[in-house]
Structure 1
């Protein structure tokens, strides 16, 4: 059964990790407008704690790379992708280039400052893949 199959279906879950509150609120709003239920956190550590308990529910991880705490966004992405290879991951940073990151299916890099259209494109791609999985 597709998670997108009907209006009464539970929306797919995205985890958002961003330490800048205004950016976190903006991204959360965009993700919700694109049809996701969003669990948002100000650290990758808190995001990982949530993911460990809800990994089967989460389809998209959006994380800044540089954040306070034990884990950064790259650590979080690696842990999450190892636990769930089908998870879509979006990493964002103003401090590194996407070429510096490990390459894998379902991974995207948004260089800050990014445009809303780029985040929306990633959301659409994720939703399309979810829908095609649900249709098969």
Structure 2
């Protein structure tokens, strides 16, 4: 199977993280995961922005939220699209400035691959 793109999934809930990993891998993506925004940032720095796309929860333990991660990624690697996801008030707390893509939870598992492919296509068209 040909790998479509590399996706970094950032999610503190092990079950959700594992589910997204499995779905995206089945759809042909190379998938890396991180439990926190800090872990994701460390991985990105170690790989020189080695992801083609980031899918992150907004609310996570540690110092770096999904919004903070998205802002750092935009400042260092603006070519990498970021999709943020959250339940409840997630979209209302997005700060002004860089606005990553947002999908509310709960999402349907069949939609994750489509959402990632669309975000990658938008990023390519933006270049």
Q: Which TM-score band applies after superposition, normalised by the shorter structure?
A: 0.7 to 0.9
Structure 1 ranges of 4+ moved more than 4 A: 102-105, 129-133
Matches within 5 A, 1:46-125: 46-102=39-95, 104=98, 107-125=100-118
Please report the RMSD computed on the Cα atoms of aligned residues, expressed in angstroms.
2.7
- Structure 2 CA distance for aligned equivalents of residues 30 and 81 of structure 1: 26
**Further displaced range: 88-97 or 16-25:** 88-97
**Further displaced range: 121-130 or 79-88:** 121-130
Q: Which has the larger radius of gyration?
A: 1
- Structure 2 CA distance for aligned equivalents of residues 100 and 51 of structure 1: 24
- Structure 1 CA distance for aligned equivalents of residues 27 and 87 of structure 2: 24
Query: Displacement, 1:127?
Result: 4.7
Partner SS state of residue 58, structure 1: coil
Residues 58, 84 of structure 2: 8 Å contact kept: yes
Residues 7, 55 of structure 2: 8 Å contact kept: yes
User: TM-score scaled to structure 1, two decimals?
Assistant: 0.77
Partner SS state of residue 52, structure 2: strand
Partner SS state of residue 101, structure 2: strand
User: Which residue does the alignment assign to 2:7?
Assistant: 14
Establish whether residue 24 from structure 1 lines up as the match of residue 17 from structure 2.
yes
Residues 34, 123 of structure 1: 8 Å contact kept: no
Consecutive unaligned residues of structure 2, counting only runs of 5 or more, are none
Consecutive unaligned residues of structure 1, counting only runs of 5 or more, are 1-5
Residues 12, 57 of structure 1: 8 Å contact kept: no
Residues 108, 122 of structure 1: 8 Å contact kept: no
Count of aligned pairs between the two proteins: 126
